[in-house]
Amino acid sequence: MKNTNNNSNTKRGTVMRKCRNIGTMALCLGVFISLCSCLSSGERVDTIKSPEPVTTAAKETSSTEKTTTEAKTTETPTESETEPETEPETEGTYESNKYYEIVEEGSYNTYGTTHLIYKVLAKEDISVDATVIAYADDGSVIGKSSDDITLTAGEGNYFHFMFDSDISNAQLQVQVNFKKDSFMTGERSAVEMVQYNQSGDDLYITFKQVGDEIGSFAEYKLLYYKGDEIVGSERGYFSISAENLNGKDTTDVAEIWAFGEDFDRVEYFYEP
């Protein structure tokens, strides 16, 4: 009885081992079939690479966008590149500027000296320095003269240049500077000319103070006319020639030597 049971157990173990072997073989067969299927579909399982890192893709995208932006910048110039550069606005030249207008030119000679007069009408309150350089035909300098005047808007004044040589055929070059009034500039339009008359070699002019105060360096300036031609000029300080002007509505008479002057009209200008 004992032998029979042993034989049965031995057979059962053998059958179970065979079943396990068959299962293993079936599993291997399934894997083999799956591999064959993959190979037949063209997939390369052993050479598949992992996707590029997201950061790398982001860098490539950023680089592309940068390139595109640079290209657009190159193709579309900025406003500063499309508009031509303009020269800074200048204040003008001696003959043409926003501060005054030349309304008359004249010249006369006294004892070998040539006088050039440029009468102007002021548009603004401004001080002006001007220099005239005279050149001969060969380019050499034959004379130089300067004048500075203080203008009052709406009123007249004149530049006066003097040369010791004959400059009738010279080429004239004018340099001009416009500047604000200095601390010495006084009240504008402070003195009026009331009347004038000539007696002997002297010219007498009556002045009246109409402003509150006359500047310490205020001047009277005169042009002498014979008909419509400028034949002479004169200038002086009120503080010397009309020192009795010491308040509004006061008057005084200036005595001006006019020997050798031949004129029939006097034009007066006040310079503060």
Clarify whether residues 109 and 158 are in a common domain: yes
At 187, list the tokens.
Answer: 């009240």
Please say whether the beta carbons of 271 and 219 come within 8 A: yes
* pLDDT score, position 65: 46
C-alpha span between 244 and 246 (Å, rounded): 6
Q: Which of 156, 179, 202 is the last residue of a domain?
A: 179
| Alpha-helix residue ranges (DSSP H) falling in 41-122 | 54-75, 79-82
Residue of 215, 253, 220 whose CA lies nearest to 234: 220
Q: Which of 145, 179, 213 is the last residue of a domain?
A: 179
Positions in the chain short of pLDDT 70: 1-90
* pLDDT score, position 98: 95
- In this structure, the strands spanning 219-226 and 100-110 are unpaired
Please say whether the beta carbons of 105 and 135 come within 8 A: no
What is the total count of domains within the chain? 3
C-alpha span between 15 and 114 (Å, rounded): 147
Q: Around Cβ 135, how many Cβ atoms within 10 Å? A: 15
The structure tokens 């604000």 sit at 180
Q: Which of 22, 41, 75 is the last residue of a domain?
A: 75
C-alpha span between 216 and 270 (Å, rounded): 13
Residue of 182, 170, 93 whose CA lies nearest to 130: 93
Spatial strand order in the sheet of 251-257: 191-199, 202-209, 251-257
At 142, list the tokens.
Answer: 């034959």
Clarify whether residues 60 and 120 are in a common domain: no
CATH number at residue 118: 2.60.40.3230
Residue of 166, 157, 242, 170 whose CA lies nearest to 205: 242
Please say whether the beta carbons of 103 and 154 come within 8 A: no
- What's the pLDDT tens digit per position in 111-127? 999 999 999 999 999 99
C-alpha span between 120 and 43 (Å, rounded): 100
Please say whether the beta carbons of 161 and 115 come within 8 A: yes
In a domain, 17, yes or no: yes
In a domain, 163, yes or no: yes
Residue of 176, 30, 25 whose CA lies nearest to 98: 176
* Distance between start and end Cα atoms, the chain: 155
Clarify whether residues 140 and 197 are in a common domain: no
Residue of 218, 72, 47 whose CA lies nearest to 149: 218
Clarify whether residues 16 and 69 are in a common domain: yes
CATH number at residue 225: 2.60.40
At 190, list the tokens.
Answer: 């402070």
Maximum CA pair distance of the chain? 184
Q: Around Cβ 232, how many Cβ atoms within 10 Å? A: 20
Determine the structural domain holding residue 143 and report its residue range: 100-179
